[in-house]
Chain A
Amino acid sequence: MVRTVSGQPGRVRVPAGPSSGAPLSFRQRGAIFIRRHRLVPYLLLIPSVLVIAALILWPTVQIAEFSFQNYGLSQLVGSSPTQWVGFANYAQIVHDPEFWLSLRLSVLSAAVMVPLTLIVGTLVGLLLSRLGRKMAAFVSSVSVLAWATPAVSASVIFVWLATPDGGVVDWFLTKVPTWLGGGAHWAGFSWTNAALPAYTLATAVVVWTSFPFIAISVLAGLRTIPGELFESARVDGCGPWRMFWRITYPLLRPIFQVLFLLSVIWDFGVFTQVYVIIGELGQRDEYNLGIYEYATAFTMPPAYGLASALAFILTVILLIITVGYVRASVREGALQ
């Protein structure tokens, strides 16, 4: 996705011609061909393209192929032949209420997780920029610890915090006064037996593990804004709220745009945290798209074809978001 707009690193003045008249060697001619056609950037890209092709493109092609087949266990072990079934898998998915339920959960949870992550991350980023050196170092290293915690560990810890048997969350909520929504009815409250509490917990885990990235990125952006802007705004009597929306946000817009799209991609495809929190498989009303796809593929009897169609749908949705991401990046000049 790198576009060489100016500078054209591949372009080198080619000598007008061999003055000696001696025939050129194969190597020399190859070098001239590469220079004349400006192939250097493409040659440099080849290794990474090959790696991506082997790790992502080829599996994607295979998934696309499976999604049009009745691929299951007996086809895998070869006891019955693989058949092409056209769009039957896709038709089955579209008519499956479970698919729409899980898609809804994926969309709704991302719609809550993304803004929350961005808000918390931005606030911490702003806080970091105003703290003294020691405090800033402390806060940022603690946040990075949260970021560095593996998703499974973080989820297990949150499940323990919220366990109905003496978890600190339920204990705390019973101590909260009734007018704040607390009270005795929180004792033994289960956070995993229905979609709403389970996804509330999942949102907490996701926000907790992903806000540091936002905070650090926002902080890096803030460092690029000249301090005079804020000083003169303050002299003119501008409050922090207006300063953020009039100075910080417009200047950091490209960064926010990228962070927003990245968060959408990550949170829409969230799997690990939800899988741990809902206690693995079995609670179909709490599946999001990723877990539904996993269950379709790997529970007995496995339906690899159907799951591939699901995976393909998920990929296309994420691809649409990614295209938006790349377009926004290019438009805002983040990538040149």
Chain B
Amino acid sequence: MGLRKTPAALVAFGTAAALAIAGCSSSSSPSAGGSASTSSSSAPAQLTVWRMGASVPSQVTWMNGVVTQFHTSFPQYAKTKVNVVWVPWTSNTTDWNDALASGKNAPDITELGNTETPTEASLGVLANVSSYVDSWSGKSGIVSGMLANDTQNGDIYAVPWFGGVRAVWYRTDQFKAAGITSTPTTWAELVTDAQKLMAKYPGTYGIDAITDDSNAFASFIWGAGGQVATESNGTWTADLTSPADEAAIKFYVSLYTKYHLSPSKYIGQTELGNTGSTSGGANTDFGLGKLDMYIDGPWATATMPANSTDKSNWASFPIPSQNGPSPAPAFAGGSDLGIFKTSKYPQADWDLISVMDNTANSTSFANLQGFFPPYTAQLTSGPYKTQKFMSGFASAAANSQISPLNAKNWSTADTGKYYIIPDMLKALMNGAPFASTVASANSQLQTVLNTGTES
């Protein structure tokens, strides 16, 4: 978390400079980009953008290009420095909280996971951007479901930046060597193929049954025809004890307990290792060839070790459903861009966001990382279907779902305080009794989804 220690003096200087500049630039011409920058056109000395994850060179280059465009399109910000800070996904909620609570080192713009946006908006971390979005040329082209996710009571708190889905990573040459001719489409085939791979490559693990990635685990529940929780008239009903959900939970746990396809060290881990890490987990094992199949989104390329082996054979297939043939629905993940509540320059923030998230830039960014842009037109004509590595993700994206992972209290239930599903899977893999463990997780999930707290 020691990534962004802006000295207090620098902040003070920045503020003073900004005030000085504001004094002379109040008559600057309207922006060339055509955006309605009619409100106070004070030019900040510096804008701080929080990006999530680990710093990636290609993304830094992309951001530098965006900043240049920002300076050209909006001459009044020609002197504004854009400071990008990388925040680990695992500590981002704490970091927002600390920034808001202390009033120090806060971002102006922040990237948010799309499941986090509803929670953060309701906690008052984000500024209301409705007025900017309503007059934004990009609004009409955005996938409407993605924008709806960022809207609460008619007010918009963030804009979608990119989307992505998880699928199963594998290596084509390993499949061939193990005699697997087509990618699995049912759970039974998934197990058989993993067993074949482990037999062919002794010492490797078949597939990662990590406990701390509900975004991926949800696909197993959905793939059995179940729901994690359903909402009706504003009340959530948790569904983990339904036969379909129980079948999914049982199957997922059995990948470790019965089939031994996944090692014990993945219990309690995310796809990236321990909660606080970004390496050393299943991602590293897959990159080094110690894990045969790995569940994650294409963006995980950025977290693969530098000495990953045999990258050219990486490919993907959608997470299979229980009985096939069509894949399990994938969780519609992705990131949004929002303006931090405490930012003094919402207009400048929005102007930068409008450059970062215009059609060309969001598409080039998506292509760079294997995400999908948030624009309908780009999605339907994207290059994704033709690439070996991306095709599995593209098929998965065709059938995606987000509820209840975007419920207001989902972050609290799943990653903030309670870790309900991760802890349930962990307990089951460590041998806890099935029925009572699932039942207590189910009632806990229902309470937290409805009230935001356990008791």
Cα(A74)–Cα(B101), bound, Å = 9
How far is the CB of A169 from the nearest CB of chain B, in Å?
Answer: 13
How far is the CB of A314 from the nearest CB of chain B, in Å?
Answer: 18
A59 within 8 A of partner (CB): no
Those of B88-107 within 8 Å (CB) of chain A? 90, 93-94, 96-98, 100-101
Q: Residues of B contacting A5 with CB < 8 Å? A: none
Contact (Cβ within 8 A) B97 A302: yes
Q: Which of A77, A189, A295, A299 contacts B101 (CB 8 A)?
A: A77
How far is the CB of B345 from the nearest CB of chain A, in Å?
Answer: 19
Name the residue of chain A whose CB is nearest to the CB of B429: A193
How far is the CB of A73 from the nearest CB of chain B, in Å?
Answer: 6
How far is the CB of B416 from the nearest CB of chain A, in Å?
Answer: 4
Q: Residues of B contacting A302 with CB < 8 Å? A: 97, 101
A300 within 8 A of partner (CB): yes
How far is the CB of A23 from the nearest CB of chain B, in Å?
Answer: 55
Contact (Cβ within 8 A) A300 B263: no
Cα(A291)–Cα(B288), bound, Å = 34
Count class of interface residues, chain B: 35 or more
Name the residue of chain B whose CB is nearest to the CB of A72: B123
Contact (Cβ within 8 A) B97 A300: yes
Contact (Cβ within 8 A) B455 A193: no
Cα(A295)–Cα(B276), bound, Å = 14
B258 within 8 A of partner (CB): no
Contact (Cβ within 8 A) A296 B277: no
Q: Residues of B contacting A193 with CB < 8 Å? A: 264-265, 267-269, 426, 430
B245 within 8 A of partner (CB): no
How far is the CB of A83 from the nearest CB of chain B, in Å?
Answer: 16
Cα(A299)–Cα(B419), bound, Å = 11
B427 within 8 A of partner (CB): yes
A96-B455, A300-B417 given as contacts; is B275 within 8 A of A285 (CB)? Answer: no
A54 within 8 A of partner (CB): no
A29 within 8 A of partner (CB): no
Name the residue of chain A whose CB is nearest to the CB of B103: A77
Cα(A165)–Cα(B98), bound, Å = 35
B141 within 8 A of partner (CB): no
How far is the CB of B367 from the nearest CB of chain A, in Å?
Answer: 32
Those of A260-288 within 8 Å (CB) of chain B? 278-286
B303 within 8 A of partner (CB): no
How far is the CB of B50 from the nearest CB of chain A, in Å?
Answer: 15
Contact (Cβ within 8 A) B416 A164: no
B452 within 8 A of partner (CB): yes
Those of A287-304 within 8 Å (CB) of chain B? 295-296, 298-303
B446 within 8 A of partner (CB): no
How far is the CB of B356 from the nearest CB of chain A, in Å?
Answer: 25
Q: Which of A164, A165, A193, A298 has the most CB of B within 10 A?
A: A193
How far is the CB of B447 from the nearest CB of chain A, in Å?
Answer: 13
Contact flags (1/0) for A57-79 with B, using CB distance below 8 Å?
00000000000000001101101
How far is the CB of B118 from the nearest CB of chain A, in Å?
Answer: 12
Q: Residues of A contacting B101 with CB < 8 Å? A: 73, 76-77, 302
Name the residue of chain B whose CB is nearest to the CB of A194: B430
Would you call the interface of chain A mostly helix, strand, loop, or mixed?
loop
Contact (Cβ within 8 A) A295 B124: no
B257 within 8 A of partner (CB): no
Cα(A300)–Cα(B414), bound, Å = 11
A27 within 8 A of partner (CB): no
Contact (Cβ within 8 A) B268 A299: no
Those of A100-118 within 8 Å (CB) of chain B? none
Contact (Cβ within 8 A) B93 A300: yes
A92 within 8 A of partner (CB): yes
Contact (Cβ within 8 A) B94 A299: yes
Q: Which of B93, B98, B411, B419 contacts A282 (CB 8 A)?
A: B419
Contact (Cβ within 8 A) A190 B264: yes
Contact (Cβ within 8 A) A285 B423: yes
Contact (Cβ within 8 A) B430 A79: no
B274 within 8 A of partner (CB): yes
Cα(A283)–Cα(B268), bound, Å = 6
Contact (Cβ within 8 A) B417 A295: yes
B362 within 8 A of partner (CB): no
A10 within 8 A of partner (CB): no
Contact (Cβ within 8 A) A74 B124: yes
Name the residue of chain B whose CB is nearest to the CB of A304: B101
Name the residue of chain B whose CB is nearest to the CB of A192: B268
B246 within 8 A of partner (CB): no
Q: Which of B94, B124, B423 contacts A79 (CB 8 A)?
A: B124
Q: Which of B93, B277, B455 has the most CB of A within 10 A?
A: B455
Which 10 residue pairs are nearest across A and B when measured between Cβ atoms?
A279-B274, A282-B275, A280-B276, A300-B416, A190-B265, A193-B267, A300-B93, A164-B265, A193-B268, A190-B264
